[in-house]
């Protein structure tokens, strides 16, 4: 009997074991857990926010997860921080998505720069 190929999650956990400070692996683990284990996903997003604050992709998904937990104020704070980080990094598309997410979170139907 041939052993089955490791799942994507198993592969990511192995990468994480080899290098627990790799931002992309941490982000990928958060993404992998988001739908099935949101609290575990949040642990990885928290690690990214604390240890890799310049990793722009974190902010949108961390904010959405917080909104899913009913923590709109915390989500809005994450979106605001992400706006600063994404603009500083010159990532205008990410900044635009974060602005839309923030406006939606705050119940605003318009752009308010």
Q: Rounded distance, CA 80 to CA 99, Å?
A: 8
Alpha helices in 35-112 (DSSP H): 38-51, 57-68, 72-88, 92-106
Do the Cβ atoms of 52 and 75 come closer than 8 Å? no
Label residue 112 exposed, middle or buried (CB < 10 Å: 0-12, 13-18, 19+): exposed
Q: Which CATH architecture group holds 8-106?
A: Alpha Horseshoe (1.25)
Angle of helix 92-106 relative to helix 72-88, nearest 10 degrees, comes to: 160
> Over 90: is that where the pLDDT of 18 sits?
yes
> According to the model, what pLDDT value does residue 6 have?
84
Which residue shows structure tokens 């979106």? 79
What's the pLDDT score for residue 110?
61
Can you give the residue ranges of every domain in the chain?
Answer: 8-106
pLDDT in tens, 57-111: 999 999 999 999 999 999 999 999 999 999 999 999 999 999 999 999 999 966 5
Q: Mean pLDDT over residues 16-26, rounded? A: 97
Q: Which two tokens stand for residue 17?
A: 């074991």
């Amino acid at each position: 009997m041939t052993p089955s190929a490791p799942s994507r999650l198993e592969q990511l956990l192995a990468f994480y074991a080899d290098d627990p400070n790799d931002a992309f692996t941490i982000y990928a683990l958060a993404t992998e857990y988001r739908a099935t284990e949101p609290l575990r996903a949040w642990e990885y997003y928290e690690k990214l926010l604390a240890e890799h604050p310049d990793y722009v992709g974190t902010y949108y998904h961390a904010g959405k997860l917080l909104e899913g937990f009913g923590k709109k104020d915390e989500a809005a704070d994450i979106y605001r921080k992400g706006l600063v980080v994404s603009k500083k990094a010159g990532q205008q598309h990410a900044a635009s998505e974060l602005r839309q997410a923030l406006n939606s979170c705050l119940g605003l139907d318009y752009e308010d720069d």
